[in-house]
């Protein structure tokens, strides 16, 4: 038994955070998992998870699907968080959840913009969001992959971008669009001046991935590790006391793209991720093979990339409607019934050509 004046055992959420950081999961994963553990505990009246098991987990996940009406991906995230809690933190292996009610996973096709629509949105953007949007569409980057770009990740000589620690913790190489190389160089010149100014004021630090900060204590102030799109303000890290500058927050680009889509009058629910969908679809339309696009996107399974074939000029996208083969135009006839408000649409056939009869 722990004495009253002795060290207190760590709280459950602190144990979860420590286990996540030990495995080098992202901060977003840490925040999401801790949030689901907290909701799970509150759902069962603040009972400790060690006193519960598969039955309580099944009841919570079923409630999410039936009463909370969450999506399948949200329910799967909650399940992953609880499995991590029991396996990695509490050391308990849960049996298979046989009675779990799964949330429906509808098959949605990705939203893809036409090339003219992409041009309209890009033309309406200004400043740094415009350059970032060009990278989303021109290199197929995800939103956070673009925001997390560092100076060392841009290879102008090889015309490529190295994406570090992408989705699933995987690195990949994608193309650097030639159209924006000069603008990217000017962006780096502005960032260099900003970094020199930070150094003169005793700042100039950036956050380093993993344990690189301990292995290379001064790397956080070196030029190659600086963000390509830095934030406008600095902050003081609570642990190290360093005056750091974070990358530009992703919501800045999200708001700018949302406003540009609205201004362009596009009726599609387009977001920043729509540029990535459009990148893959337009490459397929240009004749590039599916395996090359899979590598550029960083998909682990080619079946994920195959979803973009829905807009190609073959398969369902290449089917011609039988009404398009009709010869005559579609004309409107006056409506005889005054009680009906819509005119009838009538097909007027083209006059039939009759060949002259041959004399015997």
> 299-345, pLDDT tens digit by residue?
988 888 888 887 564 444 456 667 666 755 655 545 555 555 444 44
Counts for the chain of helices (H) and strands (E), in that order: 13, 7
CA distance 258 to 270: 8
Distance CA 143, CA 303 (A): 22
Does residue 273 carry a catalytic annotation?
A: yes
Establish whether 276 is a catalytic residue.
Answer: yes
| CB neighbourhood size of 56 (10 A) | 16
pLDDT classification of 168: cutoffs 50, 70, 90: confident
Supply the pLDDT for residue 223.
Answer: 95
Question: Mean per-residue pLDDT for 102-124?
Answer: 86
Q: Which of 33, 40, 137, 308 is catalytic?
A: 308
Active site residue 150: no
Has 44 been annotated as catalytic?
no
3-state secondary structure of 258: helix
CA atoms within 13 A on the CB side of 1: 2
- Distance from C-alpha of 10 to C-alpha of 1, rounded to nearest angstrom: 15
Given the residues 172, 246, 273, 310, the one annotated as active site: 273
The DSSP code sequence of 282-298 is HHHHTT--HHHHHHHHT
246 assigned to active site: no
Please state the domain extents for the chain. Answer: 12-89, 107-318
Catalytic residue of the set 195, 245, 247, 276: 276
Highest mean pLDDT among 30-44, 102-116, 202-216: 30-44
Identified catalytic residue from 17, 247, 277, 299: 299
pLDDT at 212: 81
What's the pLDDT at 287? 87
Indicate if the pLDDT at residue 346 is higher than 50: no
CATH 1.10.10.10 assigned to domain 12-89? The reply is no
Q: Does domain 107-318 have CATH number 1.25.40.10?
A: no
Catalytic residue selected from 167, 221, 246, 258: 167
Lowest-confidence region among 36-50, 224-238, 262-276, 317-331: 317-331
CB atoms within 10 A of CB 166: 17
Average pLDDT, the chain: 84
268 assigned to active site: no
- pLDDT class of 1 with cuts at 50, 70, 90: very low
pLDDT over threshold 90, residue 205: yes
pLDDT at 67: 87
With 90 as the cut, is the pLDDT of residue 154 above it? yes
The one catalytic residue in 130, 142, 150, 282 is 142
């Amino acid at each position: 038994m722990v004495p009253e004046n002795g060290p207190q055992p760590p709280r459950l959420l602190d144990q979860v955070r420590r286990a996540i950081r030990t495995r080098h999961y992202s901060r977003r994963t840490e925040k999401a998992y801790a949030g689901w553990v907290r909701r799970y505990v509150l759902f069962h009246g603040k009972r400790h998870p060690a006193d519960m098991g598969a039955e309580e987990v099944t009841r919570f996940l079923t409630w999410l699907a039936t009463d909370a009406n969450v999506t399948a991906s949200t329910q799967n995230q909650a399940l992953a968080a609880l499995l991590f809690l029991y396996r990695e933190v509490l050391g308990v292996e849960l049996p298979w959840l046989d009675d779990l009610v799964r949330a429906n996973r509808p098959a949605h096709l990705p939203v893809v913009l036409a090339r003219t629509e992409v041009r309209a949105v890009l033309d309406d953007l200004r400043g740094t969001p415009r350059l970032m949007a060009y990278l989303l569409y021109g290199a197929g980057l995800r939103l956070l992959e673009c925001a997390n770009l560092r100076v060392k990740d841009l290879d102008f000589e090889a015309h490529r971008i190295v994406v570090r620690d992408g989705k699933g913790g995987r690195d990949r190489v994608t193309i650097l669009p030639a159209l924006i190389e000069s603008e990217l160089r000017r962006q780096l010149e502005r960032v260099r001046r900003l970094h020199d100014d930070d150094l003169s004021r005793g700042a100039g630090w950036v956050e380093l991935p993993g344990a690189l900060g301990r292995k290379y204590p001064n790397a956080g102030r070196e030029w190659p590790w600086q963000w390509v799109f830095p934030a406008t303000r600095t902050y003081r890290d609570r642990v190290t006391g360093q005056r750091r500058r974070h990358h530009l927050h992703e919501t800045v680009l999200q708001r700018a793209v949302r406003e540009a889509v609205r201004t362009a009058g596009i009726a599609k629910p387009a977001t920043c991720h729509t540029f990535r969908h459009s990148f893959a679809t337009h490459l397929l339309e240009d004749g590039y093979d599916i395996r090359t696009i899979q590598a550029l996107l960083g998909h682990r399974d080619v079946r994920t990339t195959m979803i973009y074939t829905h807009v190609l000029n073959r398969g369902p996208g290449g089917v011609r409607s039988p009404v398009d083969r009709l010869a005559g135009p579609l004309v409107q006839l006056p409506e005889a019934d005054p009680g009906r408000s819509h005119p009838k649409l009538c097909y007027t056939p083209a006059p039939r050509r009759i060949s002259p009869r041959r004399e015997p």
